A = this chain, B = another copy of it.
Amino acid sequence: MTTQTAAEADECPVVGTLEDVLAALGDPVRLEMVRRMWGAGGPKPCGQLYAGVSKSTASHHFKVLREAGIVRTARINGKVHQELRKAELEAAFGPVLESVVRAANR
């Protein structure tokens, strides 16, 4: 990978496989992160997306979500934000994410 800005480097051109996505969502911490992002409608500061685990653990989870193509990372006003790649996921898997988040919100 050539030198890019942080935002670009986290812009995965491809979403992971359906299994990758499901496996990534199959963890309570990550599912909660995604659930919180779903309602945000845009980038959200990392610290607002989880509770109950350490910063380093949360960082690990964001990495898993990112590598599965579920989120993208952006630095806004010097703070790291995470945002769901709704459009890409919808394009690849249809209403999977939406149905999952709705189920998580039950």
Contact = CB atoms under 8 A, between A and B. Distances in A.
What copy number does this chain have within its complex? 2
A31 interface: yes
Q: Which secondary structure characterizes the binding site on chain A? A: helix
A42 interface: no
A26 B23 contact: yes
Interface residues of A, number: 25
A14 to B, nearest CB: 15
A98 B102 CA distance: 14
A64 B24 CA distance: 17
21 contacts: A17-B28, A19-B27, A19-B28, A19-B31, A22-B22, A22-B25, A22-B26, A22-B31, A23-B23, A24-B26, A92-B103, A93-B99, A93-B103, A93-B106, A94-B102, A94-B103, A94-B106, A95-B99, A96-B100, A99-B99, A99-B100
